[in-house]
């Protein structure tokens, strides 16, 4: 009886192919974050300059049929007039936010997160600029607010500025992305159902090992 030649060539392991065929990770989004932050910051600075030049000592100006009132207000408190105690504390918090976002940016690969963090960064920098350079003192300056909605003097909602709006929109976008399972690095956060489905094959294989006669 002739013996057939034995093929000694090692067959590739499918698992190795899967490991080497990983898709290229999304590119970094630092540029998009910087672009959004610069645009939003410029809008905040310009609108504050215009507001202080035209609304100082004037009566509230209503636009959009009274939906928005423009009036100048010097705010020593946090966003939307919230008092958390001490202007210098707000300055420290703003500096910490800016440093945190700058450090976090190197890991950023999601366009949505880049827009959200860019808006938050611009808002923090905008109000921080007021804290540092405006009266009454360095690091204790009052923020310029000038937008009151539906009623003057913040009767319906606290008076705010473009920086406050940027922070609110940016933070809201980040919350939405998180709820949708979109992570900052461009990947999708597995849901509870996905984790459950991934664990089911392992459970079945364990049962087969315990009862090998059933699978024979």
- Written as tens digits, the pLDDT of the chain (216 aa) is 555 555 555 555 555 544 444 466 678 899 999 999 999 999 999 999 999 999 999 999 999 999 999 999 998 876 555 555 556 777 888 899 999 999 989 889 999 999 999 999 999 999 999 999 998 888 888 999 999 999 999 999 999 999 999 999 999 999 999 999 999 988 888 766 655 666 555 555 555 555 555 544
pLDDT of residue 27: 83
Annotation marks residue 16 as catalytic = no
Q: Do the domain assignments include residue 199?
A: no
Contact 195, 189 (CB under 8 A): no
- The answer to whether position 201 is within a domain reads no
Side-chain half-sphere exposure of 195, counting CA atoms within 13 A: 5
105 touches 115 (CB < 8 A): no
| Catalytic one of 164, 183, 185, 198 | 164
3-state secondary structure 99-160: HHHHHHHHHCCCHHHHHHHHHHHHHHHHHHHHHHHCCCCCCCCCEEEEEEECCHHHCCCCCE
CA distance 142 to 125: 14
Domain count of the fold of the chain = 1
The catalytic position among 145, 185, 194, 214 is 145
In a domain, 5, yes or no: no
Residue-wise pLDDT tens digits, 8-47 = 555 555 555 444 444 666 788 999 999 999 999 999 999 9
The reply to whether 164 belongs to the active site is yes
Quick check: is 215 in a domain? no
Assess if residue 165 is contained within a domain.
Answer: yes
| pTM over cut 0.85 | no
Q: For position 76, what pLDDT does the model report? A: 81
- Provide the residue range defining the domain that includes 48: 26-186
Domain for residue 164, yes or no? yes
Assign residue 140 a region (left: φ > 0; alpha: ψ between -120 and 50; beta: otherwise).
Answer: alpha
* pLDDT at residue number 102: 92
Report residue 1 as tokens.
Answer: 């009886």
């Amino acid at each position: 009886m002739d013996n057939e030649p034995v093929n000694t060539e090692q067959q590739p392991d499918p698992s190795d192919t899967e490991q080497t065929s990983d898709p290229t990770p999304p590119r970094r989004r630092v540029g998009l974050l910087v672009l959004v932050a610069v645009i939003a910051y410029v809008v905040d600075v310009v609108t504050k300059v215009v507001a202080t030049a035209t609304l100082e000592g004037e009566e509230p100006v209503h636009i959009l049929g009274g939906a928005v009132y423009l009036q100048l207000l010097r705010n020593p408190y946090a966003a939307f007039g919230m008092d958390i105690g001490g202007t210098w504390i707000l300055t420290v918090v703003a500096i910490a936010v800016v440093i945190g976002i700058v450090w976090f940016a190197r890991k950023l690969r999601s366009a949505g997160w880049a827009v959200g963090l860019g808006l938050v960064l611009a808002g923090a920098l905008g109000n921080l600029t007021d804290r540092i350079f405006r009266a009454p003192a360095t690091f204790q300056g009052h923020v310029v607010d000038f937008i009151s909605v539906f009623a003057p003097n913040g009767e319906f909602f606290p008076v705010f500025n473009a920086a406050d709006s940027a922070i609110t929109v940016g933070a809201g976008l980040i919350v939405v992305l998180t709820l949708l399972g979109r992570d900052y690095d461009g990947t999708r956060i597995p849901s509870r159902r996905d984790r459950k489905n991934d664990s089911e094959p392992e459970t079945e294989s364990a049962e087969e090992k315990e009862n090998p006669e059933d699978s024979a």
